[in-house]
Amino acid sequence: MAVTEEIRPNADALLHAAPPRRPANLGQILRWTLLFLGGIAMVMPIAYMISTSLKWPHEVYNLQLIPDEPHLENYTYVLEDGRFYGWFINSIVIAVVTTVSNVLFDSLVGYTLCKFRFPGRYIVFIAILSTLMIPTEMLVIPWYLMSQQLGWLDTYWGIMFPGLMTAFGTFLMKQFFETVPDDFIEAARIDGLNELQIWWTVAMPLVKPALAALAIFVFLGNWTAFIWPLIVTNSVEMYTLPVGLSSFGDEADVAWELIMTGAAISTIPTLVVFLIFQRYIIQGVVMAGLKG
């Protein structure tokens, strides 16, 4: 009993004492400062985009973040402009089709290069990878000539075909399929599935995080693509959102407040896509079916 009584005051003191505070060191201060500045650099363009979309034309070149007279007239104008919906639909169709196409075909090629042993496999992979080193600007003219010969100028196909499959996506998926143990594939083979069924039923669900990452990359890339859609489209009806928004204004003046309003609206689908797929990325590759 005596021992318990002696110990209790000390235990109470420990339980109720505030956790010891460690003094922040210089490295920590530097890290936080850098992160803060990085955060500001990321947030400011978005803040200015929203701010400008709420300004009157005469305020646009005034750099203050909070408009003197914030209003939603620009949103009303842009949403009532019939062209905007057309561009929005164009961008949605192109981004969705290219995303689905990349998710399917990049993973199919990546899976094949990863899980099948055939002569020339390595050469094919290197050939695909080497196309990553060619800048888009160099490819634009051949793409244009191809589109012209195929009659795809000013069509969805013309805008989409260069991005229906990407070397980056193939590389990404191949690397992720490397993490899928062959046991899964072989078990499915013994269970009687054909190779296409194995890819779709077994391998694809195991690389969902990679598919989500790829979907986000491809969707954003195509949603914001500017140069190629600008070149391949002629009619205003076939413009995508970025191309259409850049056409706001005339030779004398650029209507930044309308462009920023359109840009603000156009971020909504990207946010939706990110919110849908980000949980798969956070989950990481789940390998719970293997030894634990």
How far apart are alpha carbons 122 and 74 in whole angstroms? 54
Residue 82 within binding range of another protein, rule CB under 8 A:
no
Tokens of residue 266, six digits? 């156009």
Nearer to another protein, 94 or 188 (CB): 188
Number of residues engaging another protein in binding (CB under 8 A): 22
Minimum distance, C-beta of residue 284 to another protein, in the bound complex (Å): 12
Minimum distance, C-beta of residue 17 to another protein, in the bound complex (Å): 39
269 contacts: CB under 8 Å, gap ≥ 6: 91, 92, 95, 223
181-210 binders of another protein (CB under 8 A): 181, 183-184, 186-193, 202, 205-206, 208
Residue 117 within binding range of another protein, rule CB under 8 A:
no
205-244 binders of another protein (CB under 8 A): 205-206, 208
260-289 binders of another protein (CB under 8 A): 286-289
Quick count: other Cβ atoms within 10 Å of Cβ 254? 14
Minimum distance, C-beta of residue 96 to another protein, in the bound complex (Å): 24
Minimum distance, C-beta of residue 185 to another protein, in the bound complex (Å): 9
Tokens of residue 3, six digits? 């021992």
CA angle 10, 13, 18 (to 5 degrees): 145
Amino acid in position 97: V
Nearer to another protein, 172 or 207 (CB): 207
How far apart are alpha carbons 165 and 160 in whole angstroms? 10
CA angle 204, 208, 210 (to 5 degrees): 105
Residue 165 within binding range of another protein, rule CB under 8 A:
no
Instruction: Tell which residue, 254, 270, 227, 274, has the closest CA to residue 52.
Output: 254
Minimum distance, C-beta of residue 187 to another protein, in the bound complex (Å): 4
In the complex, which residues of this chain contact another protein (CB under 8 A)?
A: 181, 183-184, 186-193, 202, 205-206, 208, 286-292
